[in-house]
Each structure stands twice: as structure tokens, then as C-alpha cells.
Amino acid sequence: MLKKIKHNKYFLLGSILILILIGISFFQFYQENFSYVSEYNKIKEYCYEEKMPEHEYCKVFKNKESLKSYIKNSDPHKLYKKYDAITLTSEIVRHTIFSTLQYFSPLIIALIVLGTIHNHFSSGMFENYLLRMKYKDYLKKNYKIAIKSALIMPVSLIIIFIISSIMSGFNFDLSNVDTSLSVYNEWKYNHFFLYGFIICLIQFFISLLYANIALYCCKQNKNKIVAIIMSFIIFIVIDIFVYIGIYIIFLNKFLGLKELSDYFNIAGYWFFDEGSNLIIPLAISFLLQLISFIFVINSFKSKEKVVLAYEKQIS
């Protein structure tokens, strides 16, 4: 058991970091939107119910009408009800600290992949693996780590949705949705499970891209930290190329295709205002992970070159 935990310590570390981030995100949301509840209850008790009408809270209100208006419009129970499972999920993903994963998820995935596989090179285990199994089997074993790491981000979205469903009392009633909210989109709300499935699939493909980048960097650098930083720089370069090179220069300027910027910012593939064009980021994310996969296969197909890279790392 301890051996298995030790072998998966970087995967467990990455998972724990994500769970902590989710917890902080929910705390942040409720702090920002419902931290006034204690004060509200005191105002209601002291002023509205007139149990302590001379309290300083009561002096804020000019007359009873303004007090009644505050009690009615600020009722936390009514405000809480407008946060159905879909709205709460969207708010957590888009407007809390969880949104920082747009740029930190490549680092977390690189940490998992490189933390696990890079040790094979730096510790000399690579040579032992090749004595016990075929080279192709070794590659398959390592790619399973990449696939497993790519599942963390979509699973985190599912966890947020489950927690949001529980906390909202499994409220999926869309009749009372506040359509003025920035997270609201009619198509998304009416097809949320399809929207959510596509977002999770996109995140899996994009995460697999990050994992493939990390695998490539594993062979190139004997220093684990340098390899992680290198993988992040490559991600930034790809993000800039897709957004500026493909979208702004080619599609926007040359072909005249406008208002598609959200679909070519791969770092922002966590949420979309319009759901009807999700086929674009789905296709982009799939193609990017496919190209990166082919690149990794070509990089590792020669056993002799990989062994040579390994010898350079331990020398």
C-alpha cells in the first residue's frame, strides 16, 4: 500500500492541490456573496422586529420603508435560491480562484507527469525497466500516466458540479434564473449536460496536450524543475501561436472571420459564453493533442536515442 502511494505521490499531490483549490473557491464564493448574513439577521432582529430599535444598525435607515426594502431585497434565502446547480457551477468555474487553472493546469499536469517519469531517468530506474520489459511496453506504461493526469481537470469540473448540486438542493429549476448574470447563456442552460460533457472532453484533450509536452521535455532535460518550466513555456508559445498566428493573422485579418476569439484561446477552454460553436474548440483541442501525440511518438520511437538521452542525464 505504501509502495503504491509512493509511486503515485505526484498524482496524489496534484489531486490534493485541485481539491484544496475547489474548497477555497466555494469558500470564496460564499464569502463574497453571503458574508453579510450575520449582519442582516441582526438588522432584522434589532430593527425590523424592533427588539433593539436604538442599536446603531438601525440608524443607517432613514425610515421604515427603506428598512423594509432592505429586508425584502437582501433576504439571503431568496438570493440563495437563485443559485441553482448550473448557475453555482458556472460561478465557481468562472469567477473564483478556480479560474486560475487556465494557466496553472499545465504546471500541475507537468508536475505529475515529470515528477513520476523523470525519476526513471535521474534515478537509474529506466535501465532496470528495460531489463524487465519490452521498450514498447515501457512506453505504454508511461503513457498511461499521461492519460491519468489528463483526467484530473475534467474530473475536477464534475466534482464542482456534484458539490453545486448538493449545495443547491439539486435545484435544476431554470424558471427563476437571473438572466442578467454574466454566466448566463440560454443555449448553455437549456443544454447544460451536453455543454458540460463537451467542456470535459475539451479539457481532457487539452490536458493530454500538456501531458504530451511534459513527456517531450522529460527526454530533453536532466533537471526536473527545468523540464517543468520548459513545458510551461512551450504551452505559452502554442497558446500564442493558436490565438495570434491562426486566429488574428490568418482567420481574422486574412479571411475576415470575426467574433471567434474565445474559441482560439486554448488557455480559456474552461467555459464559453456561446455554446453553439463548441465544435471549434473541440476540434482544435483534439487536433493539438493528436499532433503532440505524434510528435511524442516520433521523439521516443528510437530506443537507441532515448537510451543515449538517458545516459546524458545520468552522466
> What pLDDT is recorded for position 313?
59
> What pLDDT is recorded for position 36?
83
Mean pLDDT of 18-39: 91
Q: What is the mean pLDDT of the chain?
A: 85
Comparing 232 with 181, the larger pLDDT belongs to 232
What proportion of the chain, given as a percentage, has pLDDT over 70? 91
What sections of 168-191 are H helices per DSSP? 186-190
> Around 176, how many Cα atoms within 13 Å sit in the side-chain half-sphere?
11
Nearest to 160 by CA among 105, 91, 104, 101: 91
> What pLDDT is recorded for position 1?
64
Contacts 24+ apart (CB under 8 A), 228-232: 228/107, 228/110, 228/111, 228/114, 231/106, 231/110, 231/114, 232/106, 232/107, 232/110
CA distance 274 to 206: 19
CA distance 214 to 208: 10
